[in-house]
C-alpha cells in the first residue's frame, strides 16, 4: 500500500520528475542532455536544490554516480537521453550491478506510440539492461511517474543494493497530472529478511566457540551494510583474524594486528594460507567469487563454513556452507555479539605472524620507479586518510596490497566487472560526496585514456581530485599473463600515450612527472599540496609483475610468490648494486 502526501498540483511529467527527486533528497545528478529530455533540463534550470554535473560521456556519468554512491552510501543518480544516451550507460550499469551499488538511472525514450518503430534515437534500453539491473521500469502513464520514482529509489537502496533503471518516454514527460508523491512504499513481492534466524545464530555461535583456527572472510556487503563498526567489535571480541576481498578493503582497519589484508588471486601469502588451513571460515557479506576461491574443490578444504548475507541466492551458490544466515550483515553481527566470547587463538595468530615474517609483501627497489613504491608513499604521506579511487589493472592490485586502509568507503574500485576507465569519472562523484579527505584517482596509462574526456568535467567544476597516472607503456596485467602463461608473446599490449604533463597544461591543470625513485616523494607532495585538481605521472618499471599470484582456476597450492630474480629488463646491468627487496607491513 502506498501513502500519499497532501501537496498536490497539476504538473508536467518533467516537473513531476524533478519535484520527485527533490522529495527524495537527491543532491546531485550526473548527466548529459538530449532531445527527449530537454523538458527535464528546462525545469532543472530553475531548481536550486539539485546540482547537475555535465559529464562528457554517459558512461562517465554512471561511473560518477557510482563513485558518489560508493563514497557516501547514498544512491547515485544519472540522467541521459534516449538511444545512444541510454546505450552508453550500459557498462556503468553492469559495473554497479556486479558490485551491488545503489544507482537510479533515468533514460529518455521516444514517445510511446513510436516505441518499436525504429524511431530516431530509439533503443530498447529496458530490454538491454534487464540482465544487469536489480529492476527496471518503462513509464507508460504520467500518473504513475512519481510512485515509480519512489519505488525505484526504494528498490535500489534496500536489501542487496543495485542499479535500477527508469525509462521516460517523451510524451509522458510532456503530459500533465496532479503531483502526489508517496511517503512510503510497501511491495508485496519484495520481502527483506533483515534479522538472522535465531537457531542459525545459535549454531554459528557453537561453531565459533569450538574453533581453533578461525578466519573472518569479509566482503563488500559489510561496507554496503554500514557494518564496519560491528565487524571490528566482533573480531576484537572473539580474537578472530580478518581477511577482506577487494571490495571489502576498509571494512576492518589494516593497522590492527588481526588484519591479514586481502585474500584471493593477488592476496597476501599469509591470508591465503590462513584460509587454506582454517578450521572455521566465517563469510561476512561476501559471495565466494572465483577470484577468491580459485579451484572450488581445493578452497579452504578442512573448514566448517558460516555464511552471512542478505541475498539468499548467494548462499551455497558457489561453495556449500554449513550454517547459512540470511539477513542484513549489520543486524546479524549485532545479534551474534552477545552469543560469542573470546576464543583462544594465540597459537593460531603466532602461526599467522610467522607466515607474515616468512612471506611479507615485498618488491625490489632501485633507481627506476616501482609502482608499489608510489602507492606505499601515498599511504605514508596521507597516513591512510584519503579516498583512493582505483582503476583496473596491475596498479589496482598494488593499491590493494600497499595502501593501508583504515576506514570504510575509502577504497573505491571496479571489482566484479573490472572496468578500465572507472577511476577518473568515479572520483568526480566521490569528491562531490565527501570533502573531509583528499580524493586520489589512480589509473594506468591504459585506463586513464578510456574516459580521459572527464578531465574537462573536473576542470569545469574545479573538483579537487589528485590524478595519479602509473605509466609503464603496457596494458600491464595482460602483459603479465602473456609473460607467465603465453611464452612472452606480447600481442597488442604496448601502448602509446600523450605527454600527460602537456595534457594537464592543455586543460589548465598543474602537471608533474617523476621518472626516478628519488623524485617520487617530492612529486607526490607537490600534487597533494595543490588546492584544486592536479595530475602527476610516474614513469615506472615496464615489466613489473604483481605477486603473490594464484593463477586463474588454480588452488592455494599453486601460489606464486615474488621470485628472487624479478627485475626490469636491462635494469640489472644498470643498477645491480641498488636493487634490494623492500618489505611492507600495513599500518
Among residues 134, 150, 170, 586, which one is catalytic?
Answer: 170
Query: Nearest CA to 20 among 133, 135, 148?
Result: 148
Among residues 4, 121, 453, 554, which one is catalytic?
Answer: 121
Beta strand pairing call for 534-539 and 465-471: parallel
Among residues 477, 500, 567, 586, which one is catalytic?
Answer: 477
The half-sphere exposure of 168 on its side-chain side, counting CA atoms within 13 A, is 35
- Decide: helix, strand or coil at residue 335: helix
In Å, what is the CA distance from 134 to each residue of 87, 165, 235?
17, 8, 32
Residue 578 annotated in active site: no
Among residues 15, 23, 58, 543, which one is catalytic?
Answer: 58
Specify whether the CB–CB gap between 208 and 237 falls below 8 A. no
Contacts of 152 (CB under 8 A, 6+ apart): 104, 135, 137, 164, 166
**Distance (Å, rounded) from C-alpha 208 to C-alpha 545?**
38
Residue 477 annotated in active site: yes
Rg (C-alpha) for the chain, rounded Å, is 25
Residue 121 annotated in active site: yes
Query: Nearest CA to 363 among 371, 354, 351?
Result: 371
Cell numbers at 108, concatenated: 529518455
Rounded (to 5) percent helix, strand, coil in the chain: 40, 20, 40
Contacts of 573 (CB under 8 A, 6+ apart): none
Tally of residues, the chain: 587
Query: Nearest CA to 580 among 433, 362, 320, 410?
Result: 362
Among residues 8, 120, 186, 580, which one is catalytic?
Answer: 120
Residue 120 annotated in active site: yes
Specify whether the CB–CB gap between 546 and 566 falls below 8 A. no
**Distance (Å, rounded) from C-alpha 528 to C-alpha 530?**
6
Specify whether the CB–CB gap between 508 and 497 falls below 8 A. no
Residue 571 annotated in active site: no
**Distance (Å, rounded) from C-alpha 212 to C-alpha 280?**
8
Q: Which residues of 190-221 are buried (b: 16+ CB within 10 A; e: fewer)?
A: eeebeebeeebbebbbebbeebebbbbbbbbb
Q: Which residues are catalytic?
A: 58, 120-121, 170, 477
Amino acid at each position: 500500500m502506498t501513502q500519499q502526501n497532501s501537496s498536490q498540483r497539476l504538473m508536467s511529467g518533467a516537473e513531476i520528475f524533478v519535484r520527485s527527486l527533490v522529495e527524495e533528497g537527491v543532491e546531485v545528478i550526473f548527466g548529459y542532455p538530449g532531445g527527449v529530455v530537454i523538458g527535464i533540463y528546462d525545469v532543472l534550470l530553475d531548481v536550486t536544490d539539485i546540482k547537475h554535473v555535465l559529464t562528457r560521456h554517459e558512461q562517465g556519468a554512471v561511473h560518477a554516480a557510482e563513485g558518489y554512491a560508493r563514497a557516501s552510501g547514498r544512491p547515485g543518480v544519472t540522467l541521459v537521453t534516449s538511444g545512444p544516451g541510454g546505450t552508453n550507460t550500459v557498462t556503468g550499469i553492469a559495473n554497479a550491478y556486479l558490485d551491488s551499488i545503489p544507482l537510479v538511472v533515468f533514460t529518455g525514450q521516444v514517445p510511446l506510440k513510436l516505441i518499436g518503430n525504429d524511431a530516431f534515437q530509439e533503443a530498447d534500453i529496458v530490454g538491454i539492461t534487464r540482465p544487469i539491473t536489480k529492476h527496471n521500469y518503462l513509464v507508460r502513464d504520467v500518473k504513475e511517474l512519481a510512485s515509480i520514482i519512489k519505488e525505484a529509489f526504494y528498490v535500489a537502496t534496500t536489501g542487496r543494493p543495485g542499479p535500477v533503471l527508469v525509462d521516460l518516454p517523451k510524451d509522458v514527460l510532456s503530459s500533465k497530472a496532479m503531483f502526489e508523491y508517496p511517503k512510503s512504499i510497501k511491495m508485496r513481492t519484495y520481502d527483506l529478511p533483515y534479522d538472522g534466524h535465531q537457531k542459525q545464530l545459535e549454531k554459528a555461535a557453537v561453531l565459533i566457540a569450538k574453533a581453533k583456527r578461525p578466519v573472518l572472510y569479509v566482503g563488500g556487503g559489510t561496507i554496503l551494510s554500514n557494518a564496519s563498526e560491528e565487524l571490528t567489535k566482533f573480531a576484537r571480541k572473539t580474537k578472530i583474524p580478518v581477511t577482506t576481498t577487494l571490495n571489502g578493503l576498509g571494512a576492518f582497519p589494516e593497522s590492527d594486528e588481526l588484519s591479514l589484508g586481502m585474500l584471493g588471486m593477488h592476496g597476501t601469502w599469509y591470508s591465503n594460507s590462513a584460509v587454506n588451513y582454517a578450521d572455521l571460515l566465517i563469510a561476512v557479506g561476501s559471495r565466494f567469487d572465483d577470484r577468491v576461491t580459485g579451484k572450488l574443490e581445493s578452497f579452504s578444504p578442512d573448514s566448517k563454513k558460516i555464511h552471512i548475507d542478505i541475498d539468499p541466492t548467494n548462499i551455497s551458490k558457489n561453495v556449500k556452507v554449513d550454517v547459512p544466515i540470511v539477513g542484513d550483515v549489520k543486524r546479524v553481527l549485532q545479534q551474534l555479539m552477545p552469543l560469542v566470547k573470546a576464543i583462544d587463538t594465540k597459537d593460531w595468530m603466532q602461526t599467522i605472524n610467522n607466515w607474515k615474517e616468512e612471506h611479507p609483501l615485498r618488491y625490489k627497489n632501485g633507481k627506476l620507479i616501482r609502482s608499489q613504491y608510489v602507492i606505499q608513499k601515498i599511504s605514508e604521506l596521507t597516513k591512510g586518510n584519503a579516498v583512493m579511487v582505483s582503476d583496473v589493472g596491475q596498479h589496482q592490485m598494488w593499491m590493494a596490497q600497499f595502501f593501508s586502509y583504515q576506514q570504510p568507503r575509502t577504497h573505491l574500485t571496479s571489482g566484479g566487472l573490472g572496468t578500465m576507465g572507472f577511476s577518473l569519472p568515479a572520483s568526480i562523484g566521490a569528491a562531490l560526496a565527501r570533502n573531509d579527505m583528499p580524493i586520489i584517482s589512480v589509473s594506468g596509462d591504459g585506463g586513464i585514456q578510456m574516459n580521459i574526456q572527464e578531465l574537462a568535467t573536473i576542470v569545469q567544476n574545479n573538483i579537487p581530485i589528485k590524478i595519479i597516472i602509473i605509466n609503464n607503456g603496457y596494458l600491464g596485467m595482460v602483459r603479465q599473463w602473456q609473460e607467465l602463461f603465453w611464452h612472452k608473446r606480447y600481442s597488442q599490449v604496448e601502448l602509446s600515450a600523450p605527454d600527460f604533463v602537456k595534457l594537464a597544461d592543455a586543460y589548465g591543470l598543474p602537471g608533474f612527472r617523476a621518472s626516478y625513485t628519488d623524485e617520487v616523494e617530492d612529486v607526490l607532495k607537490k600534487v597533494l599540496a595543490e588546492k584544486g585538481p592536479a595530475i602527476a605521472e610516474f614513469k615506472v618499471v615496464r615489466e613489473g609483475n604483481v605477486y603473490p599470484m594464484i593463477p586463474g582456476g588454480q588452488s592455494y597450492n599453486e601460489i606464486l610468490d615474488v621470485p628472487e630474480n624479478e627485475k626490469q629488463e636491462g635494469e640489472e646491468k644498470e643498477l645491480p648494486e641498488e636493487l634490494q627487496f623492500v618489505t611492507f607491513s600495513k599500518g
